[in-house]
Chains A and B, each alone.
Chain A
């Protein structure tokens, strides 16, 4: 399949990329979200500005907080010892995107700009309080992951803006996990649950929970978090959280003929339990 015709420009720097992007242009990094969409003619930008060769957008630094450049690949994130230590859930989620060939070239920035509701990394970014760092022609700004994902394939990015990096708080003292129910054919998440538990002497001081796949965007789940916080994460608390999460996502449910909304809502509770178990193991 051939995408529509477009003008192609390879940018050597972020400034050049921002100066070059046209009104109907898109940034291209790994292309593993954008090109499939273009091949299916679901999108037809008239210009692609390739940011894949800009070194400053790639790489992982772990000075205090975790900072991941926008064009860092899923494979690099999944294999990073720093990410495995500082946000184990994100390393796990990035290791579950697509397959090895896709992870070798697909990037975290492209993934979140695409905002596929069934993708894995956004759920962890929302749970763990990530910040999306954005640059535009008028300057830079930062948006919390929860506000960044607006709706189905819709983000807070304005036209001409570029994601430069994703920052995450150091989560090395947390118990953090991402567990998904993969579609048997596509391996996309039917339900994906990210859990991050801050434990203090056997008691959960803070719980962060997000659900994706079952929803049109990754959703932070305050009810489930409240059910876990202040408890020892015993069976009663876990069961209460699994019940509460169904209400948390009720306004955002997505479904199809094989896996309808009601089923995914139910499975969110089941997979929250599994995610909590994985986080504690």
Chain B
């Protein structure tokens, strides 16, 4: 089936098998391997992207459902060669160890900080329930998100 999906501002037209998941489309049709497959059962959040601005686990949506939609992946978060503030915050706070969950963590956190300026640490911890990290113990991830949420609130 023919689809036209805008990924990071570029329209990609492809003929896909209807059972192709969005994460397959990104990784295998477009060679955008920044988005990871972790659990593949909508729990871990490694495949998190934005669909029309909303956080989505891309292993749980068919590419055909995203026809006509705008998708943002980790590859599209930086603008004009500058890291997104959430990428910078993960760097500065060392919000990662092995890095496998990091693209999903950053995509989920970027949307959260955009929608919840000034969010508390407990809000952040609650929100990140859908993104699992097996290395860090989350502490530095939460610090990174807090840094951006505070900056967004001007505090």
CA of A104 to CA of B57, assembled, Å = 10
Chain B contacts for A7, CB-based, 8 A: 18
Assuming the A-B contacts A3-B19, A105-B61, are A8 and B1 also in contact, with contact meaning beta carbons closer than 8 angstroms in the complex? Answer: yes
Stretch among B48-56, B82-90, B135-143, B147-155 lining the A interface: B48-56
Assuming the A-B contacts A1-B40, A31-B62, are A100 and B55 also in contact, with contact meaning beta carbons closer than 8 angstroms in the complex? Answer: yes
CA of A48 to CA of B45, assembled, Å = 25
Q: Using an 8 Å CB-CB cutoff, how does the interface string of B1-36 with A read, 1 for contact, 0 for none? A: 100000000000000011101001000000000000
Shortest beta-carbon distance, B116 to chain A, in Å?
10
| Count of A-B contacts judged by CB separation below 8 Å | 75
Q: Interface size for chain B: under 10, 10 to 19, 20 to 34, or 35 or more residues?
A: 20 to 34
**Residue B65 lies at the interface, judged by CB distance under 8 Å to chain A:** yes
Chain B contacts for A2, CB-based, 8 A: 19, 21, 24
Docked-complex contact A35 and B62, CB < 8 angstroms? yes
Residue of A nearest to B64 (CB): A8
Docked-complex contact B41 and A52, CB < 8 angstroms? no
20 A-B pairs with C-beta separation under 8 A: A2-B19, A6-B19, A7-B18, A10-B67, A28-B62, A28-B65, A32-B42, A98-B42, A98-B130, A99-B130, A100-B55, A100-B108, A100-B127, A100-B130, A101-B56, A101-B130, A102-B60, A102-B130, A105-B51, A187-B129
Report A's interface with B, CB cutoff 8 A: 1-8, 10, 28, 31-32, 35-36, 39-40, 48, 50, 52, 98-102, 104-105, 186-187
